[in-house]
Structure 1
Amino acid sequence: MMKYEDQIRTYFDDPAKQRELVAAVCRLVSVRSVKGEAQPGMPFGEGPARALDEALKLCDELGFATRNHDGYVGTAELNDKDTILHILAHMDVVGEGKGWDTDPYGPVEKDGVLYGRGVADDKGPAVAALFAMKCVKDLGLPLSHSARMILGTDEESGSEDIAHYYATEPYAKYTFSPDADFPVINIEKGHYHPDFGSTWAKSEALPRVTELKGGFRTNVVPPEAQAFVAGMLVTDIGPHVEHVSRETEATFTLEAEEGGTRVLCAGKNAHAASPDGGNNAITALLTLLSHLQLADCGSTAAIKSMHQLFPHGDTRGKALGIAQADDLSGPLTLNLALMTLDETGFSAKFDVRFPICANEDNCRKACEASFAAHGIAVTGDGDMTSVHHTDANSPFVRTLLACYENYTGVKDARPLAIGGGTYVHDIPGGVAFGCELPGSDPRMHGPNERIPVADLVLSAQIFAQAIAELCG
């Protein structure tokens, strides 16, 4: 048993404290904080700014000294001592999308589970960490240092908020972000997500695809895509649908329009870091279109090339020639995230999360060579970011693992590698720490995002112990 464990457990076993925690989560989730147009004092739009304001009000009510840093981030201080620990969480969320059984911004609790956009990513975990700080403060645990909660507003769209903050503020000795999985994530794969495409002369040949569009965010497996096939009737395309539906497990709808047929494809969204959990509507649609007898023209060639390079279900980049893996960080993952095609060209973007063993030669250059063979060129940023790796045997990681083991009963917990990127990706020695427990399914970035209340309470206990250990 760790020092103060009994006090921390008793503190959070109080039903009133648990109701207070849930109410605080619901309060923040009720604010739709999707990125919008920048305004004065609101660098990422009104939604994230309102969520940050509400979060800082909550911090004030919990007794912490707060500060708004130019609308980019807000901070809350545990005490007035030297700060040794930064806890990074975010108030912005991805768009709600479709398929919800409840109001995504009208959070509800059913059978001990909270539902709403942000309950797991990342407003719920942020509140768990805030209540952990409150626990340490209320219990009067002896501390030699302070912890600082940093609440950001742009984690889902590039993390310009944290870059702005650390441009003028120093790093802390210890940093963790409660925005991923337990027990501890010490490796975050590198990112590679170039824009690419090709152009051609407009054709009048029939039948041909004159329009295609799919996807809405780089870091989300596209749940929907559609195309218009000029010169083909519903009855021409229909016979191919049943076979391709079985092959891809996607759903297709055909709508007759003047001059041709609109093809709608429904897949399943998921976080791009875990593409196997989704069903890519763009690659499924390319599969169906590649079965059709289309005219020899630019759009047909592009569709065939894209189908060859991104066959449905290939989430490892095998067809692109970049598949690889290592023991520490696992396999490269790939998500064809965005694609738009018109009469004279197409553009697209994929999201690759690459392991430690990847490099310029076996990833970027190999990909560009595969593109070149099909007349496709990179048109935007084609740089590879770095892999983030914190030593699994560092005292910081060992302390966090011990806190996790102590409150869960898990023995010999090991750090994890993930494809997702968190706030700590560019912070020396930082790690991600909770709140997703092994075996849980929070449905992040998808409909019906959820988290058990018991998991938030357990996370708060673990965080409180970690604060006591690191700041004591």
Structure 2
Amino acid sequence: MRDLASLVAIPSIRNVESKSEKAPFGKDIRDAFDQFIEIATREGLHCEDFDGFALHAEYGNGEEIIGILGHLDIVPIFEDDEWHTDPFKLVEQDGHLYGRGVNDDKAPLIAALYALKILKEANVEFKRRVRLIVGGAEETTWECMDHYFAHNPQPLYSFSPDGDFPIVNGEKGIIYYKYTYNGKTDIDGIHNLLEIETKDEDGFVCDYAKVTFQSSNMDELRVLLKEFESIVIDGDKAIVIYTGLRALSRNPHRGVNALFKLGKDLNNLLELNTKGHYFRSLLNDHFLDDITGEKANLFDVDEVMGSTTLCLKNVDFSHDEIVIKFDFRYPKSSNKSQIKHTFKKIADENNLQLTITKELDVHYVDPESELIKSLQAAYKNVTGEEAELFSKGGASYARALKEGVVFGPTFDGDTPNTHKGNENIKLHTLFKAMEIYCEAIYILACK
């Protein structure tokens, strides 16, 4: 608990303003690295630091390497008012530990380190080396792993304690993209859409939109708008707030998109200005009330990895342009080239500029591999239950590996609030994960 508390206390959010030599992601992530090295060195693990991009802590013998990949960087505190504890203080309440990064990914890293410590102190013979590989930019650019594997070989087998149990052997492909429409806002309708502002965040379903209308018939506008949270009218201007339910953009089905509510209200405004009409038509034709990409001709489903997801994340509708940002995820049956062609086709047909801002390929590990069989055995030996395989839309360090999967720490029924207020991990989950990791390391590296 002391070791975990020391890591949670460090606000290891990327900050390029404080970067320096050996601290490419800023001082706080550097401090978290130093604290982890202090803990691992105290436990007799051999540590190497790779220019502040990544580090590893190693124990064991042999030429072959088993990798356990985690990260010490965290996401910012997006919503202060959602926390009932100090995000940077480890707090135990009702069988849970609270703090930013406690589930993603500091407690799982400590669990893996202590699992290795247990085997070390039991004097178990190691036939393979075990490396705890720790990155500093998992939540941002991933250049940590690029740098690390430019200086180190790929492990024979690896897992990342940065997701769910039993075993995530598939991760969908990811494309973040945006459309930009260049055109000035006109006032040529009875009701005129002037501005849309949403939160400038990545990775979430849009749960807030502030919309400005100008109208020559405010009484009619007030009647036709039905989906809003609040409205303030000042003369011929109306400020309208739409709210939804916050969820990770990889799981749009778990949220409620505020922009979908706006879209429904825009459909009630027949006398809309030209730019507002354009935006409404774009939503209706390709995106409104669709979280699978079916309207945009992007839908696909794979019997193993599930279906595509499409999340409308942000809209910035200003005087000079419209910028719309998306998160699209796809299974291994999809064709990435065809997906990009469809993006471009929509752009060309609607006078839009397409920009792809991030992309990660599909990752999938054969269910018959030695890695999978070993982790299934470890999980069953500890829990007594079969370790089922499944796929997710998330992005973990497993993607940086030739043979790697996500393995815990979250169990079905846990609510860790990853990237949200009140991030937590159950004490029972943490200790059970440590036990499973101990068994997994024993099977992979010692037996």
1:229 to 213, 218, 222: 213
Secondary structure, in 3 states, of the residue corresponding to 1:263?
A: strand
Alignment of 1:282-321 (within 5 A): 282-293=259-270, 295-312=272-289, 314-321=290-297
Tell me which residue corresponds to 1:419.
Answer: 393
User: How many residues of Structure 1 are paired with residues of Structure 2 in the alignment?
Assistant: 441
2:174 to 191, 201, 210: 191
Q: Is structure 2 residue 390 aligned with structure 1 residue 409?
A: no
Does the CA-based 8 Å contact 2:205-2:247 persist in structure 1?
A: yes
Structure 2 portions without partners, runs of 5+? none
Shift of 1:80: 5.9
Alignment of 1:61-140 (within 5 A): 61-79=42-60, 81-82=62-63, 84-98=65-79, 99-140=82-123
Tell me which residue corresponds to 2:230.
Answer: 253
Deviation by residue 1:273-315 (Cα, 9 ceiling, x = unmatched): 2221222233333333443355322244124313442213x21
1:239 to 223, 227, 245: 223
The amino acid across from 1:432 in the alignment is V
Aligned partners of 2:218, 2:32: CA distance in 1, in Å? 47
Deviation by residue 1:323-352 (Cα, 9 ceiling, x = unmatched): 110111111111112221111211122111
Q: Is structure 2 residue 10 aligned with structure 1 residue 31?
A: yes
Change (3 A) 1:308 1:137: same
Tell me which residue corresponds to 2:433.
Answer: 459
Secondary structure, in 3 states, of the residue corresponding to 2:253?
A: helix
1:352 to 328, 353, 360: 328
Change (3 A) 1:160 1:283: farther
Tell me which residue corresponds to 2:143.
Answer: 160
Alignment of 1:256-405 (within 5 A): 256=233, 260-293=237-270, 295-312=272-289, 314-360=290-336, 362-378=338-354, 380-381=355-356, 385-405=360-380
Deviation by residue 1:111-163 (Cα, 9 ceiling, x = unmatched): 11112221111111111111111111111111122111111111111311111
Shift of 1:399: 0.3
Shift of 1:320: 1.3
The amino acid across from 2:298 in the alignment is I
Secondary structure, in 3 states, of the residue corresponding to 1:122?
A: helix
Shift of 1:55: 2.1
The amino acid across from 2:99 in the alignment is G
Tell me which residue corresponds to 2:27.
Answer: 46
2:404 to 430, 435, 438: 430
Aligned partners of 1:140, 1:238: CA distance in 2, in Å? 74
The amino acid across from 2:372 in the alignment is V
Structure 1 portions without partners, runs of 5+? 1-21, 246-251
Tell me which residue corresponds to 2:158.
Answer: 175
Aligned partners of 2:235, 2:26: CA distance in 1, in Å? 40
Tell me how large the CA RMSD over aligned residues is. Answer: 2.3
The farther-off stretch of 199-208 and 106-115 is: 199-208
Aligned partners of 1:223, 1:407: CA distance in 2, in Å? 40
Shift of 1:177: 0.6
Give the TM-score taking structure 2 as reference length: 0.91
Alignment of 1:133-152 (within 5 A): 133-152=116-135
Does the CA-based 8 Å contact 1:89-1:178 persist in structure 2?
A: yes
Does the CA-based 8 Å contact 2:175-2:328 persist in structure 1?
A: yes
Give the TM-score taking structure 1 as reference length: 0.87
The farther-off stretch of 90-99 and 164-173 is: 90-99
Does the CA-based 8 Å contact 1:214-1:281 persist in structure 2?
A: no
Aligned partners of 2:105, 2:235: CA distance in 1, in Å? 46
Secondary structure, in 3 states, of the residue corresponding to 2:134?
A: strand
Shift of 1:384: 5.6
Secondary structure, in 3 states, of the residue corresponding to 2:39?
A: helix
Change (3 A) 1:234 1:27: farther
Deviation by residue 1:232-284 (Cα, 9 ceiling, x = unmatched): 7876554345x426xxxxxx222345761222223222222222122223333
Tell me which residue corresponds to 1:211.
Answer: 195
Change (3 A) 1:171 1:361: closer
Change (3 A) 1:103 1:294: farther
Aligned partners of 1:345, 1:457: CA distance in 2, in Å? 52
Change (3 A) 1:383 1:368: farther
Does the CA-based 8 Å contact 1:233-1:256 persist in structure 2?
A: no
Does the CA-based 8 Å contact 2:61-2:126 persist in structure 1?
A: no
Aligned partners of 1:382, 1:216: CA distance in 2, in Å? 15
